[in-house]
Amino acid sequence: MTIVGVGIDVVDVERFGASLTRTPALRDRLFTAAEATRPLASLAARFAAKEAIAKALGAPGGLAWHDAEIVSEETGRPRFVLRGTVAARAEALGAQHVHVSLSHDAGIASAVVVLEC
């Protein structure tokens, strides 16, 4: 196993909620239709994951938010579905596996992403 990228991000859930309230179009810009229905703490964790994957990919410009979707497996385990700009960058780095962990507690949401080839 070779690690090709690691990213981490944290989000203040209340502050993130205020941003979504202040700018209603932000929800649609950041999240797919399936993601957008989630509760606020879950949205904050998913936003943290999108930021974390961008960091793991080297934070290149031009990544589209909808190209990194978090879905839940039957077990509840989160995983990324990569498309378009994000999938292309992951492929360019040789990343074959994306590991993601989400958490939210005490008003903070966090995510860690590990890319391996």
1 vs 24: CA distance, rounded Å: 42
Q: pLDDT, tens digit, for every residue of 34-61?
A: 999 999 999 999 999 999 999 999 988 8
pLDDT at 80: 98
Helices 13-22 + 40-56 axis angle, to 10: 100
Q: pLDDT, tens digit, for every residue of 76-108?
A: 999 999 999 999 999 999 999 999 999 999 999
pTM (2 decimals)?
0.95
Q: For each of the domains in the chain, give its residue range(s) and CATH number, in order of start.
A: 3-116 (3.90.470.20)
